[in-house]
Amino acid sequence: MAKLIAAFINWGFMMALLFNLVSYSESVKRANSPLWICIIINLSYLSTSFIERSSFQYLPWALADFITIGALYLVQKNRNRIIALYYCMFGLAVNGLLHLSLYIDLHIWGNYEPWWLWSLYSIGINLNDALMIIVLVVNRDFLGLCRAGRLLKTVFQRHAHG
């Protein structure tokens, strides 16, 4: 089942890439296009799709997610900061932490009994991937994460200044 879900996620990212390639042809949409984000994420997911499925896969997947965040930052630092960037960086960070937590659970703590973390991992990874695919197509703050981030930033700034 995991291979089917992985294939569907990779297909979704490729469809988002194709959609953004077509949309990029309109000069009006280029400045706020998530095309480069799509390219980087597709390369990341494609490169990790060849990792043999075993309990050791979680560490390379976590590293790939964190490297992808760095690549997204480098590519987008001189471009418009678009909503898709924030959603994808957040999704990749959560995915990376989930991969890392499962690696620690299995290989450092030696736990092989299913518990709530494994369910959280299964749901969290797939939900994050689906949300990233959606945001790469619509490029809208449909969950209000950017709005919530701006609100938190304002609260912290007010708190820091007295």
Question: What are the mean pLDDT values of the chain's consecutive 10-residue runs (162 residues total)?
Answer: 88 96 85 92 92 80 96 89 92 97 93 93 96 95 86 84 70
Q: What pLDDT is attached to residue 83?
A: 92
- Do residues 106 and 83 lie in contact, with contact meaning Cβ atoms separated by under 8 Å? no
pLDDT at residue 56 in the model: 75
pLDDT at 159: 81
* pLDDT of 78: 83
pLDDT at 129: 97
Q: Could you tell me the two tokens for 71? A: 């690549």
Q: How far is 114 from 77, CA to CA, in rounded Å?
A: 41
Q: What is the pLDDT of residue 162?
A: 63
Give the Cβ contact number of residue 52 at 10 Å: 7
* Cα–Cα dist 1/27, whole Å: 41
